[in-house]
Chain A
């Protein structure tokens, strides 16, 4: 039991040790590391629970056939549009998107659409766009958004090309 925990959290403990080393060399910097780490962890714990609850509910309630039809291999432009919208309307840091991507794959969303979703989540979120306009102006924000839109699609299509069928099946064995 204890051994399992030690093994699963191996990386965490190693890094925690590193933080203590930093603290030993420079108490000031070390304390800052711990403060920032604690703040990051608390932030993660406050943002992530609803994401996982939504993932669980989605998993249980939404039938696979429906998802496949709308977002699967044969979904075409509609699928791309839905994937973009799903990502753009999301909230939270990119690491919260990965578990969502996993459940989407399990429900039969095509890999290409999952990458479009991830790309949109990373850089095309609508709330972020509004904030960017506020800070950097309409021209800067809108042109960056437009360029990102092209990039998200290009990256998804290129990734689809680069990976062999076998590799794709390993990512999405569903």
Chain B
């Protein structure tokens, strides 16, 4: 799945690049120089985030996440799910199957919804990167709001799933 989207992205970039090159060589050169400049500017922060991520993933492996969220339910599980989702950075194509397994093993719908929501919208690990672009206040507020809102998502999904049954 991830491969297809990357493929599409490359297709888009390369075809636009070819079009640009045919139309205006100088502008294309300028675009590539800008692309490289913004990449080089953010590369150090990227590397930092990816190393932190590696440390977190290894120290907090999926199996640990699974036992915590699978065994416990109720508000504590809810809270735990949100925190785990906020600090980890699992891509969707890993998170969804994982959530399915957890659901099959007795984890609550609300817990899984809050887990997926914080996972996608809140990034404690990527916060330094976000601060670079948006400043401390905006970045922290965005993550905080997303974190709080995730509980509404959990509650909402729980209600929808119950009504649908």
Contact = CB atoms under 8 A, between A and B. Distances in A.
Given A9-B47, A92-B5, A95-B129, A56 B142 contact: no
Interface in A55-74: 55-57, 59-61
A12 B48 contact: yes
A40 to B, nearest CB: 4
Contacts, number: 228
B58 A32 contact: yes
Size category, B interface: 35 or more
B141 interface: yes
B15 to A, nearest CB: 10
B109 A56 contact: no
Nearest to A135: B96
A15 B112 contact: no
A136 B112 contact: yes
Interface residues of A, number: 75
B16 A57 contact: yes
Contacts of B39: 48-49, 52, 99
The A contact surface, by secondary structure, is helix
Interface in B142-165: 142, 145-146, 149, 152-153, 156-157, 160-161, 164
A144 B9 contact: no
B135 interface: yes
B51 A12 contact: yes
Given A47-B6, A143-B160, A151-B152, A15 B51 contact: yes
A44 B36 CA distance: 15
Interface string B1-39: 100111011101110110010000001101111111011
A143 B58 contact: no
A91 B44 contact: no
Interface of B: 1, 4-6, 8-10, 12-14, 16-17, 20, 27-28, 30-36, 38-39, 42, 44-55, 57-59, 89, 91-93, 96-97, 99-100, 103, 109, 112-113, 116-117, 120-121, 123, 126, 128-130, 132-135, 137-138, 141-142, 145-146, 149, 152-153, 156-157, 160-161, 164
